[in-house]
């Protein structure tokens, strides 16, 4: 019997009607990151928090379930190997409006689960962060290493 591969993904508002999975935008495609290591997923979540993104929870899920979801939603996926020499970092620009709302701001909706998406950097206006805010984020991220 083959044991299912368990991976760690980032979920916003986990186990609520307003649940959303973290995706990154590559060109015009959404990609779900599947971490082999819970520690790597947690570090990535902390980097999102340092960018003033809502804090996601790290959830364990079967990799095949995520792949099936990606196929049905026409999303890409990537497995982030444990102990990889490549450090995965969030994009510098985050989407300003998501398909989900922070917990407590749920609107009535008949929509099924829809992960948030990220805009392509070319679609974004200049970031609204001052140099001091950018420096503060940089220091927080460096502190995580």
Is the predicted pLDDT of residue 17 greater than 50, yes or no?
A: yes
Is the predicted pLDDT of residue 14 greater than 60, yes or no?
A: yes
Average pLDDT, the chain: 75
Q: 34 falls in which pLDDT band (50, 70, 90)? A: very high
What is d(CA 101, CA 20) in angstroms, rounded to the nearest whole number? 9
CB neighbours of residue 83 within 10 Å: 8
Kindly list the structural domains of the chain, giving each domain's residue range(s) and its CATH number in brackets, ordered by start: 6-92+127-144 (3.40.1350)
| DSSP-derived 3-state class of residue 57 | strand
Per residue in 120-143, pLDDT (tens digit) is 444 444 446 667 777 777 776 666
Q: 112 falls in which pLDDT band (50, 70, 90)? A: very low
* Residue 22 and residue 116 in contact, taking contact as beta carbons nearer than 8 Å: yes
């Amino acid at each position: 019997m083959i044991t299912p591969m368990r991976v760690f993904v980032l979920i916003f508002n986990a186990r609520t009607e307003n649940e959303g999975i973290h995706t990154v935008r590559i060109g015009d495609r959404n990609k779900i990151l599947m971490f082999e290591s819970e520690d790597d997923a947690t570090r990535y979540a902390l980097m999102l928090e340092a960018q003033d993104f809502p804090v996601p929870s790290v959830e364990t899920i079967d990799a095949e379930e995520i792949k099936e979801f990606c196929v049905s939603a026409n999303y890409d996926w990537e497995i982030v190997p444990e102990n990889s020499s490549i450090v995965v970092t969030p994009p510098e620009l985050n989407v300003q409006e998501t398909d989900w709302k922070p917990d407590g701001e749920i609107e009535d909706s008949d929509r099924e689960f829809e992960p948030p998406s990220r805009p392509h950097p070319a679609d974004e206006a200049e970031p609204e962060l001052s140099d001091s805010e950018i420096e503060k984020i940089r220091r927080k991220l460096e502190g995580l290493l």
